[in-house]
Chains A and B, each alone.
Chain A
Amino acid sequence: GQNIDQPTEMTATEGAIVQINCTYQTSGFNGLFWYQQHAGEAPTFLSYNVLDGLEEKGRFSSFLSRSKGYSYLLLKELQMKDSASYLCAVRTGSSNTGKLIFGQGTTLQVKP
């Protein structure tokens, strides 16, 4: 079966660092994506990992360990506008499909 787990909710303080974890068990793996979704809006792409290790993009970093079926999204210098849902998604199946399996999402609340 396909299973992607993320914490449901997290709270952090403005200016702090927060780590959102994602574990997955899927039949096939062709990359892991992180998306940000503000309430009432479409998901927007944050990061992509296909090889083990850390990918850094400004205040956002994402890490992948394929052997452990584990990823995390690290958000630094939190801002109020970072309050949103963060979705972990795995591309499964053959390399010729774009199908993404999503986790339930982690709702992050940033407090002053």
Chain B
Amino acid sequence: KAGVTQTPRYLIKTRGQQVTLSCSPISGHRSVSWYQQTPGQGLQFLFEYFSETQRNKGNFPGRFSGRQFSNSRSEMNVSTLELGDSALYLCASSLKMGGAYNEQFFGPGTRLTVL
């Protein structure tokens, strides 16, 4: 069974630009969560999608947005990029939302560098 895939793996952008990252969950998984990982802040929750609806959102500005498609694939978008947005963006999928023993499987991440 293929794991979670994320594209692109590496991205370099300049301040003020926007970026779209893509995540394909494990086949059959319907919940997708996004996390930002930086050396200073660690892993921080961005949002969670299930059945094409955002179910939960972390404490990030409105420049960060996302969506989920009917095939459970998800995209996140960051507009007006800032230097502080440089991070590893991780996508995680799970069979369902919440519930016991419902582990999240992480993709390899997209390394975004903002110059």
Contact = CB atoms under 8 A, between A and B. Distances in A.
Interface of A: 30-31, 33, 35, 41-45, 48, 50, 87, 89, 91, 93-105
A68 B4 CA distance: 35
Given A97-B97, A98-B33, A33 B90 contact: no
A45 B92 CA distance: 11
Contacts of B97: 96-98
Most buried by B among A35, A93, A94, A99: A99
A104 B42 contact: yes
Given A42-B109, A95-B99, A100 B42 contact: no
B52 to A, nearest CB: 16
Contact of B104 (A45, A93, A95): A45
Interface in B81-112: 90, 92, 94, 97-109
Interface of B: 4, 31, 33, 35, 42-45, 48, 55-56, 58, 90, 92, 94, 97-109
Contacts of B33: 98-100
B10 to A, nearest CB: 11
Chain A binding surface, main DSSP class: loop
Contacts, number: 71
A31 B100 contact: yes
B103 A33 contact: yes
A97 B104 contact: no
B45 to A, nearest CB: 5
B100 A93 contact: no
A93 B107 contact: no
A55 to B, nearest CB: 11
A85 to B, nearest CB: 10
A28 B45 CA distance: 16
